[in-house]
Structure 1
Amino acid sequence: MLRFMPVGDSMTIGSAGEHTWRYRMWQHLRATHGGPFRLVGPRETLYDQATGAADSYEYADPDFPRAHLAGWGEGWHHLSPLIADAVRDSRADVLLVSLGLIDLGFYTNATQTSENVHAFIAAARSANPRISMVLLPVIPNIRAESDAPFAREVALFNDLLAKTAANLDEPGSPLLLASLPHSYDIHADTYDGTHPNAAGEHKLASAFAEAMHQGWGVGGPYESHLAESA
């Protein structure tokens, strides 16, 4: 059985009332993987924007394996110290990682964030030397549209992430760099310029799904799922 752990920030944990891209990924794998799998991780909740606490179970459809390691306002900076225990305890095989926006926005520059990526990968491998990881670049967001210095840091970090994925890739512990979601539009695929709506959820799930299908032969193409209703 393959165990997938979604790892991320607010775009991955999602907020009360949403499906989340984690749900879309579960749907996709259930339809295309052809073998047993689980979503794993130490957390299950959504973030409640009304209370400011990550304690909501109000998923749009709660009937799926909701486990993850994601947090509202958390980045590589926060999750690198947690990943070894999370991998060890959940026996994760594949990490689906979407991080970086929070780091660059509030904590670390591109170079420092890249150093935290290295620490994250090393920690994950210390818990499972055969762990596989799919790394998603920082996706388009509203701050990068209006803040040129921030946009430059995002671009630099994404370049460094690509180099890290290439340099640290190992046959026994592969790293895949996912492509930015095809045709992602912050005005159509988010509800506030950053956080995905239903269309954005599908596109984030598609980015991971296509990387795994093309790189490892896991699952199938995602295109058919993009037409699904929310």
Structure 2
Amino acid sequence: MPQHLIDKLERFTRLSDEDRQVLKALARKVRLIEAGVDIIQEGDRPETVNLFLDGWACRYKQLEDGRRQIVAFFVPGDLCDIHIYVLREMDHAIAAITPVRLATVPREILLDTMDRHPRITRALWWESLVNAAIQREWTVNIGRRTALERLAHLFCELFLRLRAVGLAEGSTCPFPLTQLELADATGLTNVHVNRTLKEMRNAGLILLKSRQLTVPDLAALQKAALFNPNYLHLEREGAHLSANA
């Protein structure tokens, strides 16, 4: 059941019971992917849209010599590009970081859903625009922020994204990322990430333990990251479209 997607879209607009049932019906065909396995590879022809139900994944580009840049993380509730099937072939790869359960949505079903349900369509447009905003913020992160600011910003973003879909409890959320994955996402070396994480722990900004992230003081972490959450657009900007509004 794509409850996390429903929770996410309702950060934009309140859905009707019919909308929720339609979204639940998208998860008819489910795939299980082992950790470390590519879900789709560069050069593949995309035929379906992937909806992440459980687990974490990443979007990445890899150079010929093996160096990798992670350009996005997927968490439960995320859709992998609602119009990806327009492309002839993938220009990047997507890999499972943890075991992943995802729904594969055929283009015909998604297009029919969007034709028949305008509120869902606008919510999916919002989801696409937020993804583009996140990509812009990642560019700023790598291009202009310091090592500590980069990591702190990523932690703030992931914490808020997980909280928005009901996957944070208080100040703690799941966090299965390794130091190498953090390095590949922030343009830092593994050694630099290790040193910066120690600095953040010593400052009381974060606690990483047992694949969990705890943020004792979110405001302090946001200040350290120069973090402005407005790019995540989580304040129900589509309230005027809400069911029974």
Taking structure 2 as the reference length, the TM-score comes to: 0.27
Which structure has the larger Rg over C-alpha atoms?
2
Normalized per residue, the structure richer in strand is 2
Q: Which structure exhibits the higher relative contact order, with contacts defined as CA atoms closer than 8 Å and separated by 6 or more residues?
A: 2
